[in-house]
Amino acid sequence: MHGKTRPPVTAGEALARMDRFVALGLIGQQEMAQRLGLNVTDLTCLGHVLGAADAPLSAGDLAELTNLTTGAVTGVINRLERAGYAHRRPDPDDRRRVRVVADPAATVRVVAVYEPFYARLGTLFADYTPDEIAVIADWFERAAQEMRAHHEEVCGDPPGPAAP
């Protein structure tokens, strides 16, 4: 497979396209959450639970991944359990902790909602060489690290002066 020739793009143009993609993603997450009967925070946590697969997350893991307090995560897990999306499982290594696992039937429902979009992305990736896909994956990973670092800086600083 050969990559397609693409017109040159500046970093600023790429960032503008990323902003549009992120904005669409936020709207899409809200719509997906509504379709599944969840709020966006609960859907985000469920996504982490599903992504953990055979290595279930603790409430503390979810709190760290989402920058929520453990108390807020407890509320999320309670709602996910009531909605039938996840349940708590005792931690085999520490009886004081629990792990959060996705309900298999719920996993099927979530996959059914997301699969059409992921299929579209799969088709899109077919236009790229493995080396180009590696660059895209590297960029997303590194951009996520920068986003986390920026978030920590913003959230760790005291509020600035009030706006006039």
Q: Tell me if 18 is assigned to some domain.
A: no
What pLDDT, on the 0 to 100 scale, is given for residue 157? 52
Q: Evaluate whether residue 97 is within a structural domain.
A: yes
Distance between CA 99 and CA 81 in Å, rounded?
A: 12
Whichever domain contains 42, its CATH number is 1.10.10.10
Confidence of residue 158 (pLDDT cuts 50, 70, 90): very low
pTM above 0.85, yes or no: no
Report yes or no on 102 lying in a domain.
yes
State which residues form the domain around 69.
30-153
Quote the tokens at residue 96. Answer: 């004081």
| Residue 58 belongs to a domain | yes
Tell me the average pLDDT across 16-44: 95
What letter does residue 67 receive in the DSSP assignment? Answer: T
CA distance 147 to 132: 22
H or E segment at 17?
Answer: helix 11-36
In a domain, 4, yes or no: no
Degrees to nearest 5, angle at CA 89 with 85 and 92: 150
What are phi and psi for residue 154, nearest 5 degrees? -65, -45
User: Considering its fold, how many domains does the chain have in total?
Assistant: 1
Amino acid 2: pLDDT:
60
Confidence of residue 129 (pLDDT cuts 50, 70, 90): very high
Indicate the SS3 state at residue 135.
Answer: helix
For residue 20, tell me if it sits in a domain.
no
